[in-house]
């Protein structure tokens, strides 16, 4: 399995994520953690809570449509694993988000920017676990 390195697209995406997180904190005083935003959308405390959470999530998923409008083509998406692996991975991420009190966007982008020790520890745990998982899947299991 080949991994394609896209430095300019990655840099652009990182800048946009950082800008979005900064603007959300500046204007609403909220942390841009994707799972927290989704959870709050499912059980909003008010109409304004639902509105901003819905707008953020809509923005997160509208990127491919923006690319379609700009280039005339949808981005090519290749998922080199089985449906069972996707479901298993999703369940593991859900468990990790629950026990870790947040996700990579909340801890890794926003928490580390606020110099939160808990977020630094969580992000290090995410990264070490990711490296180990990729190593085992690619080099031990040969998938």
Query: Mind listing the pLDDT tens digit for each residue in 16-74?
Result: 989 999 999 999 999 888 888 888 888 888 888 999 999 999 988 898 899 899 999 98
Bigger pLDDT: 81 vs 12: 12
Q: What is the pTM of this model?
A: 0.73
Q: Is the dihedral of CA 22, 20, 46, 108 positive or negative?
A: negative
The dihedral over CA atoms of 119, 122, 127, 128, expressed in degrees to the nearest 10, equals 140
What's the CA gap between 51 and 48, in Å, rounded?
5
Report helix, strand or coil for 143. coil
- Which pLDDT does position 99 carry in this prediction? 82
Q: How far is CA 44 from the centre of its chain?
A: 21
Check residue 143 and give its pLDDT: 65
What values do phi and psi take at 79, rounded to 5? -115, 100
Share of the chain above pLDDT 70, in %: 97
How many other C-beta atoms lie within 10 A of the C-beta of residue 108? 20
Q: What is the pLDDT of residues 84-93, one digit of tens each?
A: 988 998 898 8
**Average pLDDT value over all residues in the chain:** 87
Q: For residue 1, name the pLDDT band (cuts at 50, 70, 90).
A: low
């Amino acid at each position: 399995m080949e991994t394609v390195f896209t430095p300019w697209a990655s840099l652009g995406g990182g800048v946009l994520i950082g800008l979005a997180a900064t603007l959300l904190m500046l204007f609403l005083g909220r942390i841009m953690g994707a799972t927290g935003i989704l959870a709050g959308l499912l059980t909003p405390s008010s109409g304004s809570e639902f509105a901003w959470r819905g707008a953020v999530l809509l923005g997160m998923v509208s990127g491919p449509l923006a690319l379609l409008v700009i280039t005339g083509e949808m981005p090519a998406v290749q998922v080199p694993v089985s449906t069972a692996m996707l479901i298993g991975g999703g369940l593991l991420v859900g468990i990790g988000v629950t026990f870790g009190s947040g996700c990579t966007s909340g801890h890794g982008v926003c928490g580390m920017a606020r110099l939160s020790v808990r977020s630094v520890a969580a992000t290090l745990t995410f990264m070490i676990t990711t490296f180990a998982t990729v190593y085992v899947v690619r080099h031990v299991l040969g998938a």
